[in-house]
Amino acid sequence: MSHFCRHCGALLSHEVIDLGHQPPSNAYLSVEQLLLPEITYPLKVYVCTECWLVQLPAHAAAEDLFTADYAYFSSTSQSWCAHAERFVTAAIAKLGLGPHSQVVELASNDGYLLQYMQQRGIPCLGIEPTHATAIAARVKGIETIERFFGTALAQELIGEGAPVSGGADLVVANNVLAHVPDINDFVAGITRLLKPQGRASIEFPHLLQLLKGNQFDTIYHEHYSYLSLRVVQRIAEQSGLVVVDVEELSTHGGSLRVWMAHQDTAESSATVAEVLAAEVAGGLEKVAAYADFQQRAEAAKYGLLEWLLRAKRQGKRVLGYGAAAKGNTLLNYAGIQADLLEAVADRAVSKQGQFLPGSHIPVISPEQMADLKPDELLVLPWNLIDELRQQLSEYSLVTAIPELKQWS
């Protein structure tokens, strides 16, 4: 079957990495669902050698992945909420936002970010397609529309008497650009939604850091695209936007925060040129940059398996911590099940009592984990290791990406 680039339409022929067939990483299972067949899709990533967008073909529709009972709640992570609050404070100062401004967040989840806009008296609106998280946002008093975003919804929002009549001063899109199958329509929708002098702030994991850090576990079906600044710049230009600034962030193993404006309203900063130069130095638009990615992923997989098998032989009890989507990619790629990893603890009540997709490892509460007295904990959301080292200081922690590491 042939696949075509979701940005430029070129035939996808160059494979970057193959992680086998896997179920959607956020499709947690109930006890009853364990008795039913489980759908899996190919997890094979390609790079378009015409526009250099790294991407996963859309084997599953967005509606099938981001379901009403979607289990990821952003507010579960204290560090992520702190990150959001810092952004709000900085954005208000940067853009001069106030009571007469309008802020729209795309993929607003449970209101983790807009709650801080609301606290500062700034009118805001969330766009969130998953029902469970939208309800959580409304409980916080944040107006939320349960829809997938694109040009059609943008047009509805800016009409006379509509929620964002006249357009938005700020559009925020954190960790959603990679999640949309029609990336051109999504960015074009932002163009339509912004006021003439408005700004868009978009955060996404940086492809350059993904490759450097061997972060193959961040590949899963909900992530259709793996983005560089240059590719995002091209997509923006096609939709009438210009990248005016970029910030390098530590979140998610290394992300970019890209600021966009309507073309001919602002100039690009020197930082944009610096990041683009780093991408050129990293060879992101040459196939050689992707040549050893598969082998490095396999090495990490074997390292994890060897450690788990050794612990098993030594009679140690190893549990996982953090039922993150990236952890499901890793566990399923390595073929790890409950015989090697007895359970995974998570603070999210929405996941407790469920089972991980594919591996069927049970998800338990941190209190249940403590009762089991594990000898070591495998931290699956390795990007939160600093936060978790403080929360779990009494435990011996291990991460598997980019390679096996034990934290003292």
Q: Is the pLDDT of residue 266 over 80?
A: yes
Within a domain: 360: yes
Q: Are 279 and 357 within one domain?
A: no
Token pair of 95, please? Answer: 């853009």
CATH of the domain at 232: 3.40.50.150
Strand order in the sheet with 194-205: 144-145, 124-127, 103-106, 168-174, 194-205, 255-262, 241-249
Within a domain: 177: yes
- Interior angle at CA 323, CA 319 and CA 326, nearest 5: 110
Contacts of residue 152, defined as CB under 8 A and 6 or more positions apart, other chains included, come to 189
Q: Is the pLDDT of residue 153 over 70?
A: yes
Q: What distances in angstroms separate CA 51 from CA 28, 44, 54, 285, one per listed residue?
A: 35, 18, 9, 8
Contacts of residue 313, defined as CB under 8 A and 6 or more positions apart, other chains included, come to none
Contacts of residue 280, defined as CB under 8 A and 6 or more positions apart, other chains included, come to none
Give the domain-ending residue among 225, 258, 290: 290
Q: Are 107 and 182 within one domain?
A: yes
Q: Are 350 and 298 within one domain?
A: yes
Q: What distances in angstroms separate CA 378 from CA 218, 317, 324, 341, 357, one per listed residue?
A: 17, 11, 12, 9, 18
Q: Are 128 and 277 within one domain?
A: yes
Encode 365-394: b = buried (16+ Cβ within 10 Å), e = exposed: beeebeeeebebbbbbbbbbbeebeeebee
Q: What is the spatial distance between Cα 111 and Cα 109, in angstroms, rounded to a whole number?
A: 6
Q: Are 374 and 267 within one domain?
A: no
Within a domain: 10: no
**pLDDT confidence of residue 281:** 98
* pLDDT one-digit tens code per residue, 290-327: 999 999 999 999 999 999 999 999 999 999 999 999 99
Q: What is the spatial distance between Cα 13 and Cα 108, in angstroms, rounded to a whole number?
A: 35
CA neighbours within 13 Å on the CB side: how many for 386? 8
Within a domain: 356: yes
Q: Kindly indicate the confidence band of residue 70, based on its pLDDT and cuts at 50, 70 and 90.
A: low
Q: What is the spatial distance between Cα 116 and Cα 238, in angstroms, rounded to a whole number?
A: 32
Token pair of 149, please? Answer: 């975003």
Within a domain: 146: yes
**pLDDT confidence of residue 78:** 83
**pLDDT confidence of residue 245:** 98
**pLDDT confidence of residue 408:** 76
Within a domain: 137: yes
Q: Are 198 and 323 within one domain?
A: no
Within a domain: 66: no
Q: Is the pLDDT of residue 68 over 60?
A: no
Q: Are 237 and 157 within one domain?
A: yes
Q: Are 98 and 182 within one domain?
A: yes
Average pLDDT (17-29) is 95
CATH of the domain at 387: 3.40.50.720
User: Which pairing describes strands 376-379 and 363-364: parallel, antiparallel, or unpaired?
Assistant: unpaired
Split into its structural domains, the chain has a count of 2
Least confident of 65-69, 142-146, 293-297: 65-69
Q: Are 300 and 276 within one domain?
A: no
Give the domain-ending residue among 258, 290, 322: 290
Q: Kindly indicate the confidence band of residue 61, based on its pLDDT and cuts at 50, 70 and 90.
A: low
Pairwise pLDDT comparison (26 vs 248), residue with the higher score: 248
Q: Are 391 and 257 within one domain?
A: no
Q: Tell me the average pLDDT of the chain.
A: 94
Q: What sign results for the dihedral spanned by CA atoms 49, 52, 53, 56?
A: positive
Within a domain: 21: no
Least confident of 64-73, 185-194, 262-271, 318-327: 64-73
Average pLDDT (175-203) is 96
Average pLDDT (345-362) is 95
Q: Are 119 and 198 within one domain?
A: yes
| Residue with the two structure tokens 């430029």 | 8
Q: Is the pLDDT of residue 71 over 60?
A: no
**Cβ–Cβ < 8 Å for 357, 25:** yes
Give the domain-ending residue among 275, 290, 305: 290
Q: What is the spatial distance between Cα 377 and Cα 317, in angstroms, rounded to a whole number?
A: 9
Q: 17 - beta bridge partners? A: 45
**Cβ–Cβ < 8 Å for 245, 269:** yes
Q: Are 156 and 248 within one domain?
A: yes
Domain residues for the domain of 368 are: 293-407
Average pLDDT (278-287) is 98
